[in-house]
Structure 1
Amino acid sequence: MKRIMLTLILLMGIGGYTSYAQSELTLQECLKYALANNQQLARTRMEEDMGRYKTSEVRARALPQVSAQGQYTNNIKQQVLAVPGEFLGGEPGTTALLKAGTKHNVAVSGALTQTIFDQSVFTGLKAAKAGEEYYAMQTYQSEETVIYNVTQLYYNALVSREKITVLDANIAQMTKLVETTASQVENGLAKKIDLDRMRVNLTNYKTQRTQAQNQFQIQSNQLKQQMGMPVATSLELPKASFKEIESKATEVDFGGMSLDNRIEYRLLKKQEELQQYQKKAYQAEYYPSLSLGGNYSYNGISNKFDLLKSKSGGSTASWYDMASVNLTLKIPIFDGWARRSRVRQSEVTLRQLSKDVEATTLQLNTQYENAKLQVQNNLNTIKAQRENVDLANEVYSSTQNNYNLGLANLTDLLDAETSLVSAQNNYNEALLQYKLAELDIIKSNGNLKSLVK
């Protein structure tokens, strides 16, 4: 059932790149699954969507701004104006009270504003587009991080499983030896203390096997977490061809490290570009701005609530409209040197970014050179450990034959077996370190995406 669930997840998450049930996932398949399901990567892609929406928001500042509103007013208590009585034919020296306005007022209006010139808007549009590119580059960096982490965990899991295979072989050998020696003890041909020592070694191997199995399970769970795969899902890895890894190790191509291929460097350069736009935005505050505006309103007044009735229906309402066009010019004169301070702050930030670029350049070049040294060292280690495994095999086989013939004691046999296990594990570890160093070379060349193809 878990196998079926895993296949369905793969079909949905990777776009159905396989048409049959997969019981084992290759590195490429794990990477494709991770790129489709890693949660942090999904969040970064949402940030990229956010960048596009921010560009649209800034672009809106250069487009016409249109608004409309309607208002109804009921003057429950109308304002009273005091005027001299003689104005209304009264006695001089008296005061007459007049109601101002009407009881019911309705107003419908609309406004249009269009920016003609605003340097900050034009600079903001360029900055928003650069910001959109920055978010896309962040997504690219997150994808590279996922590829790098999944590949590391994948190789670690393969080597851990190979250690289990080595221990299984040694447990099988020791089990047979224990059975043979137990039979010899019964027939008085071997000492019981030798049998006890073999059983102690067998128990130690089984304990190591349990520990190795737990380590493999932990690494498998970490791999599934990085892939975005539910931890309860069954994940099987194909049997590693360590001989193939060794044969390919001699064909390593260092290529050439180009800073323009490193996303870390490109992100810093894009930050510099964005900061340049920020500086220009502050400088744009020195420029005057010009905008065109227009307003239109239609108003109705009446002392009765008959605004919607026609004149022929006996309405007492009066309607009139108003319209205006305006051209607004704003000229900044003095702001207490606030603009100048903001410009100088942006200049300091640019200098800081320049130092970050220098430090990152040095760091990336150092990483590349160290990765090359690691590959060379690991190639030598692989060769030495391969020879060591062959030699340990010969020693163990010879010692076992001598032990069976009574020409070697048990201590020699157990020491030879321990040396063989150690040589095999060291060889597998050397292959792992080579693959990790090779991964750093691929990263330095900016070719991590090639692992997915």
Structure 2
Amino acid sequence: MKRKRITAQKLKIGIAAAFMIFGFSSLSAQQQVSLQEAIKQALQNKAEAKKAALQVKKAEYKIDEARAGALPQISANISNTFNPILQTSVLPGEIIGMPGQLVPVTFGTKWQSVNSVSLYQNIFDQRVFTGLKAAKSTREFYLLNSELTNEQIIENVATAYYQVFVQEENLKTVEASYANTERVRNVIKSLVDNGLAKSIDLDRTNVQLTNIGSNKQQLVNAVEVSKNALKFYMGIPISTPIELEEKTIEPNTALLNTAANLETRSELKVLNKQKELLQYNKKATEALLYPTVGLQANYGWQGLGNKFPYFTGSAQGTNWSDYASIGLAIKIPIFSGGSTRAQIQQAEIDIQDLDQDINNTRESLDLDYKNAISNMENAIINIESTKDNVGLAERVQKNTQSNYQYGLATLTEVLDAENALTQAKQNYANALLDYKQAEIKLIKAKGQLNTLQNP
């Protein structure tokens, strides 16, 4: 009997020791991905970034198009006409000494060839000058829009990255709890097999193990789904295996100490540049009220004859001659029925409409900034609270294990303490995620998302 008590005591110590072994299941060696590397790949691979870069390139060609309006416009014209039936007209007979009669006369030749070169040079056209300025602003607009697109990509990648990080931390915690509970189950099974424990204790442990296993499987799936989302935002194939770089999350309270300048936000920069483009559009419409002045010049060769002119000369009856003209074209708008004035008023309304969007966006960004500050402060408090709770849960678990060794605590209390510790660690991991999400929002509110690319 004494030997059985000793054996039972040793097995209880074995149960306690099993809970004290804290092991994590290791992930297979895969591609280590840091946040900076994930952002770099996203900016290189994502269609949104590529399309934004194409728009910037397109803006360069818009500048070339606008500049072309200020350069000489030269064109060539080649026209060859064959007249199988020449038109007949009549002349008074007095011309050829046949008074009182009408004499039919055929005018023209069978072939007529006209070859000319024309040149037109704008001397003054307010629309051309305004269009050139607008084209340069268009390029700046697309550059700013590209920056805004990149910031949105960075935010998506960072949010998805830390979502994976926290899910993996939760999985590690549950895997450790599962391994510990499994070892305890094996110890209790030995107790039951030796008649030193009740089968109800083994049943309780199996129920606990099944519940943890179910939670573990859910987290395995959550990690996989989170990684797939991250790979999507990175613009890499979903089948690519990745593993996050090992690192810890530490709150950065310095972010709370610096103020934000909302005017540096890309959202406002894009809208302000859009307003500038609308102002140029209004000026271009106003330019319709200004006169235009242009220089035009023509030079050509004309061949007339009854045979194809290009292969004949004067000996074959084809007459070749050249001509030239130079002129100054001035167009002065006088009355357009009020359509130009109406277009100008429409352009002005477009500007006023955009002003409302700018004011609304500014207020929205200010609200986001203040909310980000509040969420960040609360997240830091929550991290400290959950971190302290983890420490408390660890002490409770150790004390419960110690008490169990001396028969002062039941197996149920041991399992409950293990559950409480697992839950506390998961709460801490979720608090870290809430913090990182709040931190990203605050960095965005300050217009500093690009700093996430820095190590």
What's the TM-score once normalised by structure 1's chain length?
Answer: 0.90
2:138 to 131, 134, 140: 131
1:291 to 294, 299, 305: 294
Aligned amino acid, residue 36 of structure 2? Q
Percent of pairs with identical residues: 39
Correspondence 1:142 to 2:143: no
Q: Alpha-carbon deviation of 1:409?
A: 2.3
Q: Secondary structure at the match of 1:62?
A: coil
3-state SS in 1 of match to 2:259: coil
User: 1:127, 1:265 → 2: CA distance?
Assistant: 19
Counterpart position of 1:416: 417
Task: Report the Cα offset of residue 97 of structure 1.
Answer: 3.2
Paired position in structure 2 for 1:389: 390
Aligned to 2:272: 269
2:112–2:309 CA contact under 8 A, matched in 1? no
Q: Tell me if structure 1 keeps the 8 A contact 2:394–2:421.
A: yes
Amino acid at match of 2:439: E
1:361-440 pair list within 5 angstroms: 361-440=362-441
Question: What is residue 110 of structure 2 aligned with on the other side?
Answer: 103
Q: Distance in 2 between matches of 1:361 and 1:304?
A: 76
Identify the match of residue 170 of structure 2 among 159, 163, 170.
163
The answer for the alignment partner of 1:15 in structure 2 is none
1:278 aligns with 2:285: no
Which residue of 1 is the match for residue 38 of structure 2? 30
Equivalent-residue separation in structure 1 for 2:395 and 2:186 (angstroms): 23
Provide the C-alpha distance between the structure 2 equivalents of 1:186 and 1:426, rounded to a whole number of angstroms.
38
Is the counterpart of residue 82 in structure 1 residue 90 in structure 2? Answer: yes
Contact 1:103 1:302 in 2 (8 A): yes
C-alpha distance in structure 2 between counterparts of 1:371 and 1:398, whole Å: 40
Q: What's the RMSD between the two structures over aligned residues?
A: 1.9
Q: Which residue of 1 aligns with 2:13?
A: none
Return the letter of the residue paired with 2:404: Y
**Structure 1 equivalent of residue 220 of structure 2:** 213
Asked if the contact 2:285/2:343 (under 8 Å) is kept, the reply is yes
Question: Which fold has the larger relative contact order, with Cα–Cα distance below 8 Å and residues 6 or more apart in sequence?
Answer: 2
What displacement does 1:260 show?
Answer: 2.7
Judged with a 3 Å threshold, the aligned counterparts in structure 2 of structure 1 residues 31 and 254 are, in CA distance, closer, same or farther, namely farther
TM-aligned CA deviation for residue 84 of structure 1: 4.7
Give the Å deviation of 1:99: 2.3
Distance in 2 (CA, whole Å) between partners of 1:440 and 1:334 is 56
Structure 2 partner of 1:48: 56
Amino acid at match of 2:417: A
2:135 paired with 1:116: no
Q: 1:89: Cα distance to partner?
A: 5.8
1:109 counterpart SS class: strand
Q: What is the Cα deviation at residue 309 of structure 1? A: 3.3
Structure 1: runs of 5+ lacking an equivalent: 1-20
Deviation per CA, 1:300-329: give whole Å up to 9, x if none. Answer: 011123542344xx3211011111111111
Seen in structure 2, the aligned counterparts of structure 1 residues 251 and 131 have a Cα distance that, compared at 3 Å, is closer
After superposition, what is the alpha-carbon deviation per residue over 1:191-248, rounded to whole angstroms, capped at 9, x for unaligned? 212212211221121121111111111111111111111112222212232xxx23x4
Structure 2 unaligned segments of length 5 or more: list them: 1-28
Task: Find the aligned partners of 1:152 and 1:307 in 2 and give their Cα distance.
Answer: 74
Q: 1:12 matched to which residue of 2?
A: none
Q: TM-score, normalised by structure 2?
A: 0.89
What SS does the corresponding residue of 1:24 show, helix, strand or coil? strand
Which residue is equivalent to 1:300? 303
**Alignment counterpart, residue 228 of structure 1, candidates 229, 235, 238:** 235
Moved over 6 A (4+): none
What is aligned with 2:324?
Answer: 323
Counterpart secondary structure, 2:272:
helix
CA 1:22/1:164 → structure 2, altered by over 3 Å: closer, same or farther? closer
Aligned equivalents of 2:36 and 2:307: distance in 1? Answer: 80
Is the contact made by 2:372 and 2:441 (CA closer than 8 Å) also made in structure 1?
A: yes
* Residue 408 of structure 1: how far off its partner (Å): 2.0
Q: Is the 8 A contact 1:293 1:327 kept in 2?
A: yes
Secondary structure class of the residue paired with 2:197: coil
